Each structure stands twice: as C-alpha cells, then as structure tokens.
Structure 1
C-alpha cells in the first residue's frame, strides 16, 4: 500500500465555550487518505465533520495529535501553512459566497496563483484550469462576472480556482448542497473525472449518504467527534454494523434495513460527552434489549471504545455489541 497523501493521528480539537467549559468537537481521530482516493466523511449536523475538515486544511490548530502531508507533519508557521495550502485546497459548498462579485472569472481563478507567486504563464494556467473544469472555450469566461453564470458554472469556477494550483488533495465541504438536482450529477462527475485524470485525492464532507454512494471509495461515519464506522463505501452502506450508521442508512431508498430507525433525542452537548459508548443514550440496540441479551449493556454505558484503525481496506466498527457478535473488536486502541 502506498503512503497516505494525508494522514491524521490522535487528532482532537477543543474549544472554550461560555462559562469556561471545554467543548471537544473532535475527539481522537485516526484517518488516512490515499492518493487518488475519494473519502466521504458523513454524519448529522454537529458531529464534528466540518471542524475536522477545517483542521485538515490548517485553519484550526488541533489541541492534540498530528496532521501529516506525504509523511511530513504539518507545522503551523506562516511559511509552512502557505506551502501546505497550495497542496491541500478547499472547495466550498456555496459558490456564490465563495466568489467575489466584483471579480471576473479570470481574477477569481488567478488569485491563488498570485498569492503563491506562480505568475509565470498565468493566462495559460487559468485557461487550462477552466477547460479541465468544463468551461470551454476558457477565454470566453475570462471577463464574465459570477452573477452572469449559472450555479453549476460558478461551482466549476470555484473548483478551477483550487485546481489551478495543482494540489494533491481537495477537501470539498458539501460540494453540491446548494445546487439544483439537475446539475449535481455533473459536478460529481467532474470531481471523479479530475480524480481519474490527475490522481487527486478528495475528502468530501457530507450529510448525504446517497452522495457518498455515488462518489466515494470509502466512507467514514462520525458521531460526537469520533469516527464510529469506516470502510469501503459498498460494505458500510449495504451492511452497516454500528447502530448509528444503521439508523442513517435505514431512511435511504432501497435501504438494506427493513424499517426506518427513529433515534431518540438529540446528540448530547459536546461539553458533556457521555461515558462508555458515546452513542449509548440514543442507541436503539441498547434501548430495545439486544445489547443486554448479548451481555454488553454495562460495557455500552461504562466502557469507552478504542479509536478506530485508519486501515482503508478494513471495515471497522466502534461498537461493543458488534464486537460481541463477531467475537473481537475490529478496531485497534
């Protein structure tokens, strides 16, 4: 297996909230992104996936743990961050907000080149990036303003602005959430084409498991700051093993789960993470008896689970009941 292009070990991110309390948005995450791989990071709002993505971009400094690019740990001085952000680029979910309405398409795409001092052959670089993103002939769009473009075209300009720096990783935060259904498929196809043509790796942050099925090679499901299940996307979505993942998958069309699972309550306050399995206050398997029948209900309430292994080939699950059913944990401490 090749060296990961992006790697995370023991990552935690804390924030101080009103009253001086500590909120742990990300709590011990190990993650690897392989060259040319599309990894979807899924979970409901507030689970920590956007904070994790911002930390991977170097926008948030972790409270603990490391982020490494091509095996080199990220340093947080200005020069190191500038070099890193050329290699790891962001694609935002709202192209209208991401583009300056006073800047032409040319200026929007060329901005990154100028920031990073890549001014040689600027015109050719901008034209090439726009063409790769399906805006052809590129010169026709140079003097166009964002309001003159469709939503799909604006998103292509945002992707071109990232691609022009020739990054090795793209982190896309809900890349099609603000687009009409008619153009979502086009943008997803573009991201896959860029992966195939240029070997780009991508981390796609989403709450839409249908999108993950369409685009991702691997899926990681987050709950309350931790990855609770990860593995090849087909395995996770056709045979979900964690009760939380099963609840998410149960409402998909043609779900392998016979009936929709309605979770009780809301995710706990991140300043008061429950002991034991952090999902246990809402777990349908604990509430309805299977955990007690397997003799793990006490573990669910009182014994913390290890951090999942980052092995991309393994279907890993952080669940005491699953561990009892398979006879061992499928994750490492």
Structure 2
C-alpha cells in the first residue's frame, strides 16, 4: 500500500438527499470527502443510520449523488449504463447477508460465473471460476461446483460471495458489514481472507461496519461517520487509541480494553437525517459540551451555532481543534 499514491477511489463534497414523508428531506450523506489509496483497507464506521451504507452505495454508483462527485482513477464517474457496467467490473460489492446474495436455485459454479456472463467474458470460464473459489478459500474448488447454497455453512456462503466478486478481478471491494451475520469463530477467518487478498492481489477495500473491534483488526485507516458526515479520520491505530472527537471517544470507550478510563453514555435522541441540528451536528448529545469542558475552552457558543466540517486536521470538532491549538 502506498499512501502517497494518487487515490484510486475518491469523493468530493458528496451529498445524497432523499425525500421523506411529510415533505421532509433526509440528508443521508451531507458533504463528504473521502480517498481510498491503492491496496488500502479503509473502515467506514458509525452507528446505524449515520449514512455509511448510503455513502458506500454512492461510491459503487448504485445511488446518484445530489451534489458532489465520485472519481475512479482520477476520472469522474459517469452514469450511463455502459460506463457503470465497466466501473462495476473494477469496483465490486460484497453484501452483508450471503444467504440473501445467493440464488438458492443456482449452484456455486453458476453463482460465481454470473459476473463473467453479465460482462460477456467467455474465455476460460471454468478456470476463472476455479481460481476465484480457490482464492476465496474453497479448495479444491471443483468440489464446490455443483453444490447449492443451502448445503454450505454461513462462512462458506460468504466465501462464495467473495469469489463472485473476485472472478472479475476488481481493483476495489466494498464490503457492507461482511461478517455481521457470521458466528464469531468464522469472523476471524473471513477477515484474515480479506487481508490475504489485499496482500496477494493488491486489492483495496472499504469495509462498512458498526464494529470498531473489526476495524481495529482489518483496517489501515478509519473514517467515523455521524449524521451524514465524517467527523474523524486517520490511521486506525491512532484514532482508536487516541480518539479526539467526542463521538469517536464515546464509541471507543465501550470497547474491551478501551484506552479511555470509563464508558461514555451518550444522551439525547439517536440521529435523524431529516432534522440535522444547527451548529455542530453532534452537539445535542455531546458529553464535552454537557460536562462544561466546551464552556471552559470558550467554544460552547460555537458548538451550538457554527457548523463544523472535517478539515486538514482530520477532525470536525470545535473543542478538539481548540485543545490541539493550545497544546502546539
């Protein structure tokens, strides 16, 4: 992985809005910049409803942004049928639920070969399918060709889904909660597989997860989302051992062996993308503001009134910026 390389996949000023009942508008993604380097694994983390799945779908071209751009290899993504088909060969999705992703009437061979057939790739189909299954850890691959999904374990089904992505030789995999439906004993195997694919094939990956422990085990970098925005971003070991945004601190505080002294219990209502508060969008639930620390630093009014976006310091927090300035 080369952090200095040009981004393979990136987004600038990305916004995705949906109409909601009652004439309201949900700001599911609300001004996101993101970069994925070649060979990098980026974890996209946050609570349910924070916008991470919508962001992933937009990066895949499955949702069209209301504003902003997605770029692959430096070229803006185009939304014609032909352009999207070519793009989806290079950027593949791995779904959360392998049972839902696999047609129960298709054999493993047909499930993996489906991508090749959609893209009109007819050369060496059998060899390509066997190679993809083998790379996904299903060996010998021929043993699984005529097997049906119901005959496989959950971990084996997830490996078939991964093989279906690998068969097209993508440069990027976007995995949405790739181990959420699996037993704990199998989770480690699938995470180890994703790491091995990165090392062997140079694959880059975005892993969508609410599980910071998973991010710690697999990612190079992490982007923490809250209410449609990335609020903190950086190397995973730094963010999870020295979290600076109060929201990240709350998430990290409940991890086993957390570096923070005690758990942070967030107050207030869970985020609602149709009612984004003014000021810092986290301020109604912020323990730093509620505890008086923001007032001591002289930024409590800013927290309530002034919006704050991710800056060159990779954090979206008035208080954290003030404290980092005070210590430099």
Q: When the two structures are superposed, what TM-score results if normalisation uses the length of structure 1?
A: 0.96
1:270 CA drift (Å): 1.4
Distance 1:77 1:308 in 2: 33
1:305 CA drift (Å): 0.9
1:280 CA drift (Å): 0.2
* Contact 1:170 1:200 (8 Å CA) reproduced: yes
1:135 aligns with 2:138: yes
Matches within 5 A, 1:248-259: 248-259=251-262
Q: SS where residue 14 of structure 1 aligns? A: strand
* Contact 1:13 1:26 (8 Å CA) reproduced: yes
Q: Deviations over 1:203-223 (max 9, x none)?
A: 000000000000000000000
Structure 1 equivalent of residue 53 of structure 2: 50
Q: SS where residue 8 of structure 1 aligns? A: strand
Q: Deviations over 1:123-163 (max 9, x none)?
A: 00000000111111111100000001111110000000000
1:272 CA drift (Å): 1.6
Structure 2 equivalent of residue 312 of structure 1: none
Structure 1 equivalent of residue 287 of structure 2: 284
1:3 CA drift (Å): 1.1
Match of 2:213 among 184, 190, 210: 210
Match of 1:247 among 236, 240, 250: 250
1:21 CA drift (Å): 1.4
Structure 1 equivalent of residue 307 of structure 2: 304
Structure 1 equivalent of residue 325 of structure 2: 327
Match of 1:165 among 164, 168, 171: 168
Q: SS where residue 317 of structure 1 aligns? A: coil
Distance 1:258 1:306 in 2: 28
Distance 1:199 1:266 in 2: 42
* Contact 1:243 1:284 (8 Å CA) reproduced: yes
Distance 2:120 2:78 in 1: 21
Q: SS where residue 144 of structure 1 aligns? A: coil
Q: SS where residue 295 of structure 1 aligns? A: coil
1:266 CA drift (Å): 2.1
1:164 CA drift (Å): 0.3
Structure 1 equivalent of residue 94 of structure 2: 91
Match of 1:231 among 231, 234, 250: 234
CA RMSD of aligned residues (A): 1.1
> Structure 1: which 5+ runs fail to align?
310-314
Structure 2 equivalent of residue 18 of structure 1: 21
Distance 2:272 2:186 in 1: 37
* Contact 1:45 1:207 (8 Å CA) reproduced: yes
After the TM superposition, which segments of 4 or more aligned residues of structure 1 sit over 4 Å from their partners?
Answer: none
1:268 CA drift (Å): 3.4
1:292 CA drift (Å): 0.1
* Contact 2:231 2:309 (8 Å CA) reproduced: no
Match of 1:40 among 43, 46, 50: 43
* Contact 1:228 1:308 (8 Å CA) reproduced: no
Q: Deviations over 1:272-313 (max 9, x none)?
A: 21111000000000001000000000000001113344xxxx
Q: Deviations over 1:5-25 (max 9, x none)?
A: 101000000000112211110
Distance 2:83 2:55 in 1: 19
* Contact 1:241 1:317 (8 Å CA) reproduced: yes
Structure 1 residues 214 and 167, CA gap change in structure 2 (3 angstroms): same
Distance 1:279 1:95 in 2: 34
Structure 1 equivalent of residue 71 of structure 2: 68
* Contact 1:224 1:267 (8 Å CA) reproduced: no
* Contact 1:30 1:308 (8 Å CA) reproduced: no
